[in-house]
Amino acid sequence: MIRADMDPVPEPQKRYFCRHPFVESKRVYVTPTRVEKLSSLVWDGKNGLVRDIPSIQSVKEYVHKQLSKVHR
């Protein structure tokens, strides 16, 4: 997770230093194998709807698929 004003966007295979948002002593270096954009523009104040909104069923399936990949 990064701040909205953070630049550049993270890149795969690049090492990043991460801090826990609430516990200062928790820190770790991570090297992502891939970076996925998790948000996209759906509504633009000037132009209205700029892309189709996915159905709730397709969103539910996507979330379940992604959760199955999370290491617990």
pLDDT at 4 over 80: no
Tens digit of each residue's pLDDT (9 = 90 or more) over 19-64: 888 998 999 999 999 888 877 888 888 888 888 888 999 999 999 9
**pLDDT, position 57:** 97
Contact 21, 27 (CB under 8 A): no
Q: What is the pLDDT of residue 36?
A: 84
**pTM for this one?**
0.51
Kindly state the tokens that stand for 21: 């948002």
For 30: left if phi > 0, alpha if psi spans -120 to 50, otherwise beta; the answer is beta
